Amino acid sequence: MIDVAARFALGPMLLAQANALRASALQLPEAAGARSGSVGSGDIVLRLLVTGDSSAAGVGVLTQDEAVALPLARHLARHIAAGVRWQLIAQSGLTSEDILEQLKSSVVDPCDLAVVICGVNDITHQRAIRNSLRVREHIVDWLRCHCRVRHVVFPALPEMEKFPSLKNPLAWYAGQLSRRNNRAQARWAATRAHISHAQMNGIADSRLFAEDGYHPGPVLYARVAERLAEHIMKRAWGELQTAPVGAQG
């Protein structure tokens, strides 16, 4: 594969760029605000969990109002014209494996739907995609066993070559790896019930990133939340309605 060949051909340059980026990267805080609550009107008919890495935690914006979990819950509440209870369990720097461990060590409420935002740190930590997918399957199994979740969404990675903080050839290489992750994750999700891969094509825009040039800014987060809501209504809502949801817990 072209990214494998590039790693060997450009290895020293890629490593030097990655090390320089780590040394100079601006460290932004996670978004402030409550990490659980209820939105919408009427009975709670959907319970949402958002979990993952720094993008799930809202790094790049000031408050959870501008991040992913709360805006996504609001979108869903409008779509279904009912109440949505939401919970966020996320932390900067987590790989897929770290997310699984964080879930196991957290108090996770019962949920009908989970959105797992992961993958960028798997790439930066050079995790093999087959191993990452194996861990993501363990995440799904754990959520189904311990939280009664009935559908899990894994968003695609952004087009990493558009990160303003990345310069070529590292930007090109990261973009190749993100697309490789997305193809493999889409194939994996398509073979399993209760899992879906949410496409994010065309959302990333280098002008819409936070000041660190790595995390989304408010407009980009808003695009992600809206795209996720559209995916959930198209791909998961019908499945979630096949049995009573939300109000039982």
Q: CATH no. for residue 186?
A: 3.40.50.1110
Contacts of 21 (CB under 8 A, 6+ apart): 165, 166, 170
The residue segments making up the domain with residue 59 are 35-240
Quick check: is 181 in a domain? yes
Contacts of 166 (CB under 8 A, 6+ apart): 21, 160, 174, 213, 214
Note the pLDDT tens digit of each residue in 110-139. 999 999 999 999 998 999 999 999 999 999
Note the pLDDT tens digit of each residue in 43-55. 999 999 999 999 9
pTM: predicted TM-score of the whole model, two decimal places:
0.91
Question: Does residue 11 carry a pLDDT above 80?
Answer: no
Quick check: is 30 in a domain? no
Quick check: is 21 in a domain? no
CB 94 within 8 A of CB 122: no
Tally of structural domains, the chain: 1
- Residue 126 backbone phi and psi in degrees, to 5: 55, 45
Question: Does residue 25 carry a pLDDT above 70?
Answer: no
Quick check: is 26 in a domain? no
Sign of dihedral through CA atoms 79, 68, 223, 171?
negative
| CB-count exposure of residue 1 (10 Å: 0-12, 13-18, 19+) | exposed
Q: Cα 6 to chain center, whole Å?
A: 27
Question: Does residue 6 carry a pLDDT above 50?
Answer: no
